[in-house]
Each structure stands twice: as structure tokens, then as C-alpha cells.
């Protein structure tokens, strides 16, 4: 792996130029340190190719980011990568939708066997396994971010709050064997990425062991798996309104979901409990009372916009991983079954009406 200290620049490709992708790409890109970040865009390609990315951030003010190169497709980036001797890092920042698309298959043309570091900045659990299986000799770095950011229009990114990004290597998801060469190379890549983000001003870019990082990933479900699906099923209530509901039933439901994650998550990772630095459900619920009442979680925004929801990684994978170990998560399972069915029905209706419109 080339480093910023060698004379050759390090080429990093971020796939998915949305809110998270553009924000973290802009803090990583540093020609003076020899780190050159390019973007694979999709619908926003014409805008970013012509004008770059404009960011309004709480932590770094307003600024412009011109990626080293902007591509309109993975195929185009794969072709250009050949002129660079292959991509050293590929960072995936699309929504994690394994029921719609296998990200590992999509990025395969970008990954040089045994060499390219594949990093994932996405929500949910179990997202790494398809990459681990497809790229058995490549380091995989798993990243969990706590940020509130959005793409308000093509190439316009707003970061509202937070910057935290926690990183760790991924081998088998448990990480008890830290001596293998893959674990070592994953650890080095984790530390290298952290140091680049730190140099780019992200004060809370933190390296972790594989197990610590997976605990952080599972713990984040305490928010994402409890609130996001419930916001959709409650007919569109934001997190604050759910914990403040007068009858108390919604709050009880949210606490029940959180309790399932606190019971199952640590056991999946062969530990007794989540580490003390990770907030307990009571604290999360209490602080949610003070949230903006109009704020909507991303899954609700996706549902309202008719886009696919990150159901598999936030509900389906935890339920399946738990079940493989003989554990059940009944509240998460019910929400998963209901929302999966609702989404499938809506997609079928949309397809039918599009077909009818074509006739």
C-alpha cells in the first residue's frame, strides 16, 4: 500500500457521491499530503463534473471540494484506474441495499486482488460479509459514522452536526485472531485512514480493533433499528415525538427494541455487555426527548420519497445473525416482516403503474 510519505500519491476512490461520501472525501483529499480522492457519481455526475462539490458545514464552515477526478460510472473509474496501476483504496458510501444490489459485485472491477483496501461507510450490520467473501485476500475496513448530513441538491452538501467516524479491520466479524496477515494489513489500513482523516480536521476519527468496531456497529442499531422503522410504521413520527407520546406505548416499544439489541448484540460478539463508553438505552431515550420534533430519520425520508429503505442491514441481518446463534429479536423481526412486505407491495404497484403508463 502506497503511503503519503512515499513519492507516489495514494489514489482513493469514493463510490457514492452523496452526503456521507462527499463530506468524508472532502476531508480526506489532500494533494499536499499526497492523498488524491476521486468520486464515482451517479445522478449528480454532470453537476459535480462541471462544478465540483459545495459544502456548508457546522464544523469547517462553507467550502468547495474539487475531487481529483469525477466519474459517471464504476466502469469509467475502473478503466481510468488502469492508468494509475489500480485503485489503492475504494471507499463505498452508497446506501446499503443488498436486496437491490450487491455492492461487492458492483465494485469488483475496481478492486485489484490482494491489494486494494475496501472500506465501507454504511449503516447496519453484516454489510462487510459479501466483500469479505468476494475479496478474500483484500483488507476490508469497516467504518461507522455518527453524522447528520444531507445532499440538498446535486453537489450541494450540508453537514448539520457531528463528524465522528469509528474504523476497524474486518476479517471474520469477531476478530479473535489478530495475528493473521489480513488482520494486520486491515489494522494498518485502519490506522492510515484515521491519520488522514485526523489530518483533515476530523477530531473524532478513531481506530478500533475488529471486535470493538463490531460492538459499535451493533450498538448503533440501538438508534437506527429502534427509531427508523418505527418512524415509518407510526405513520411518519420523528424520534422525539415517539419517545414523548402521551399514551406511552410508543416509548415502551422503542425501549423494547433497544433492550433486544442490548441483550443480543454483545452475545453475537461473544462478550457480556456493550462497553461502558457506549450510551445505555435510558440515556439515548432521555436525550432524544430534546431532539428537533420535526426531524425525520433517513428511513422515513426514503419511504416518503418512494425510495428503497435500508431494511436488510438495519433489521434483516441482525435478526438473521441472531437466529443463527439461537437468539430471537421478536420486535425487530415483526417490524422487518411488515416493512419488507409493505415495500414489496409498493414496488409491485409502482412497476404495474409504470407498465400501464407505457401502454
Ligand X SMILES: NC(=O)c1ccc[n+]([C@@H]2O[C@H](COP(=O)([O-])OP(=O)(O)OC[C@H]3O[C@@H](n4cnc5c(N)ncnc54)[C@H](OP(=O)(O)O)[C@@H]3O)[C@@H](O)[C@H]2O)c1
Q: Which stretch binds ligand X (CB under 6 A): 94-102, 197-205, 253-261, 324-332?
A: 94-102
User: Segment near ligand X (CB under 6 A), from 36-44, 77-85, 195-203, 283-291?
Assistant: 36-44
- Write out the three cell numbers for 57: 458545514
Our finding on whether 19 is near ligand X (CB under 6 A) is yes
CB atoms within 10 A of CB 156: 17
157 touches 22 (CB < 8 A): yes
- Express the helix, strand and coil content of the chain in percent, nearest 5 each: 45, 20, 35
Cα gap 325→336, rounded to integer Å = 19
Binders of ligand X in range 295-334 (CB under 6 A): 298, 310
Q: Could you give the string, one character per residue 132-171, with x where binding to ligand X holds by CB under 6 A and - elsewhere?
A: -------------x-xxxxx--------------------
Dist. CA 173–CA 130, nearest whole Å = 12
Residue 100 makes contact with ligand X by CB under 6 A: no
Residue 258 makes contact with ligand X by CB under 6 A? no
Name the one range near ligand X by CB under 6 A: 19-27, 76-84, 109-117, 268-276.
Answer: 19-27
Q: How far is the CB of 284 from ligand X (least distance, A)?
A: 15
Cα dihedral 208→210→211→213 (10° resolution): 50
Span interacting with ligand X, options 9-17, 48-56, 133-141, 318-326, rule CB under 6 A: 9-17
Nearest-approach distance from CB 149 to ligand X, in angstroms? 4
Give which of 257, 167, 180, 259 is closest to 214, Cα–Cα: 167
Query: Which residue's entry shows cell 439489541?
Result: 261
The set of cell numbers assigned to 274 is 456493550
Strands (E), 195-296: 205-207
SS3 label, residue 261: helix
Write the DSSP assignment of 315-349 as a string of letters: IIHHHHHHHHTT---HHHHHHHHHHHHHHHHHHHH
CB 312 to ligand X: min, Å: 11
CB of 272 to ligand X, least distance (A): 27
Spell out, one character per residue from 259 to 298, where the chain touches ligand X: x when CB under 6 A holds, - when not: ---------------------------------------x
Give Cα 27 distance to the centre of its chain.
Answer: 17
Positions in 69-88 near ligand X (CB under 6 A): 74
List CB contacts of 19: < 8 A, sequence separation 6 or more.
149, 150, 151, 157, 158, 159
Residue with cell 475502473: 78
> Of 95, 187, 217, 296, which lies in the binding site for ligand X, with binding defined by CB under 6 A?
95
Interface residue with ligand X among 20, 215, 240, 311 (CB under 6 A) is 20
* Candidate segments 120-128, 230-238, 275-283, 289-297, binder of ligand X by CB under 6 A: 120-128
Nearer to ligand X, 59 or 245 (CB): 59
Interface with ligand X (CB under 6 A), residue from 13, 21, 238, 253: 21
Q: In this chain, which stretch among 42-50, 230-238, 251-259, 286-294 interacts with ligand X, using CB under 6 A?
A: 42-50
Binding site for ligand X (CB under 6 A): 15-21, 40, 42-44, 74, 93-96, 106, 121-123, 145, 147-151, 298, 310
Amino acid at each position: 500500500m502506497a503511503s503519503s510519505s512515499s513519492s507516489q500519491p495514494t489514489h482513493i476512490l469514493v463510490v457514492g457521491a452523496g452526503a456521507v461520501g462527499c463530506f468524508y472525501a472532502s476531508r480526506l483529499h489532500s494533494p499536499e499530503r499526497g492523498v488524491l480522492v476521486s468520486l464515482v457519481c451517479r445522478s449528480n455526475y454532470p453537476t459535480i463534473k462541471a462544478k465540483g462539490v459545495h459544502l456548508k458545514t457546522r464544523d469547517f464552515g462553507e467550502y468547495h471540494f474539487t475531487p481529483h477526478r469525477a466519474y459517471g460510472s464504476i466502469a469509467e473509474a475502473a478503466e481510468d484506474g488502469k492508468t494509475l496501476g489500480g485503485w489503492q483504496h475504494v471507499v463505498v458510501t452508497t446506501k446499503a441495499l443488498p436486496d437491490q444490489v450487491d455492492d461487492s459485485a458492483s465494485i469488483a472491477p475496481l478492486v485489484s486482488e490482494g491489494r486494494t483496501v475496501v472500506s465501507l461507510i454504511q449503516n447496519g450490520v453484516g454489510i462487510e460479509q459479501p466483500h469479505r467473501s468476494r475479496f478474500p485476500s483484500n483488507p476490508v475496513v469497516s467504518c461507522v459514522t455518527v453524522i447528520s448530513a444531507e445532499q440538498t441538491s446535486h453537489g450541494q452538501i450540508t453537514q448539520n452536526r457531528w463528524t465522528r467516524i469509528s474504523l476497524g479491520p474486518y476479517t471474520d466479524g469477531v476478530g479473535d485472531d489478530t495475528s493473521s496477515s489480513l488482520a494486520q494489513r486491515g489494522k494498518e489500513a485502519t490506522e492510515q485512514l484515521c491519520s488522514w482523516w485526523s489530518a483533515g480536521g476530523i477530531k473524532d476519527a478513531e481506530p478500533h480493533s475488529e471486535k470493538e468496531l463490531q460492538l459499535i456497529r451493533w450498538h448503533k442499531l440501538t438508534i437506527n433499528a429502534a427509531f427508523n422503522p418505527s418512524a415509518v410504521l407510526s405513520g411518519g413520527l420523528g424520534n422525539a415525538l415517539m419517545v414523548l407520546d402521551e399514551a406511552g406505548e410508543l416509548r415502551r416499544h422503542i425501549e423494547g427494541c433497544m433492550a433486544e439489541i442490548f441483550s443480543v448484540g454483545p452475545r453475537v460478539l461473544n462478550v457480556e455487555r456493550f462497553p461502558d463508553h457506549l450510551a445505555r438505552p435510558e440515556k439515548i431515550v432521555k436525550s432524544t426527548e430534546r431532539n428537533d420534533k420535526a426531524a425525520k430519520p433517513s428511513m422515513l425520508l426514503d419511504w416518503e420519497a418512494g425510495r428503497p429503505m435500508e431494511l436488510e442491514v438495519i433489521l434483516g441481518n441482525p435478526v438473521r445473525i441472531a437466529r443463527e446463534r439461537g437468539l430471537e429479536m421478536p420486535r425487530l423481526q415483526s417490524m422487518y416482516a411488515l416493512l419488507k412486505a409493505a415495500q414489496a407491495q409498493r414496488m409491485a404497484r409502482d412497476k404495474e403503474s409504470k407498465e400501464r403508463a407505457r401502454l
